[in-house]
Structure 1
Amino acid sequence: MRTLFVSYRVSDLDRSLAFYGALGYAELGRVDLGDGSRLVILKFPDEASASLEVVHRAGAGPVEVGSGFDHLAIEVDTLADTLERLTGAGLEPGPIEYPGGPDGPKTSWLTDPDGYRIELVEWPPNSPDGLTAEF
């Protein structure tokens, strides 16, 4: 088994697609669910497959981010460059943090238009590719 992607329900599909497009996601495909509801599958250009789905359900009311969901983590090559690009695109990422100390990963947080939190992570040099059993 493997995880396919995370799916978020969003209140305004166009606004969310603009946000995730500025973050660097590319649209992989769309599905019309009827009654004005749609979903869009996204991925980063270098990913082999989909990693995020945004779903707009017409008439479902406002999105309320639940207390059980915490955040989406996205690995970046160079956090400082990513923050500069995102700020230039009109997004508002937070400052660089060092949760594991000076030799650990660098992180920054931002929030999408519906309140979903996103953690941007730059792994230290020579660390395993992403999270592994050695983490």
Structure 2
Amino acid sequence: MKTLFVSYRVTDLDRSLGFYTALGYTELGRVQADEAGHLVILKFPDEPAASLELVHRPGDGPVDVGSGFDHLAIHVDGLATTLEKLTEAGLKPGSLQYPAGPDGPKTSWLTDPDGYRIELVEWPSGHPDGITAADFT
């Protein structure tokens, strides 16, 4: 397993983009979604794929530091096997999902004791181990 990217909800997208680009991140792409808000995908120039997602939901008001974290995504090689192991260990992962259809990634969700959501992802064969610019073309 390895971490894919971290996702943070932000109050002011322009201010946050200014900060993260000053830190060295570059914008990989954007997703405009109604209920999910506006997403901006970032990576460092030497990274092959995204490592940070900024989530902006203007209707939700200012971010509360205690609830500003959206989710953590973790890459797994075999999601079905991973879900079995997690269940055997006493955890309660969600069911296997295909959010982009049968040829897309397989996902499942898990919630930690504090309520933070974790997305488990198995990429299709041949797909890089993360989101890349090709996913936006």
Pick the structure with more strand per residue.
2
TM normalised by structure 1 equals 0.50
Pick the structure with more helix per residue.
2
TM normalised by structure 2 equals 0.49
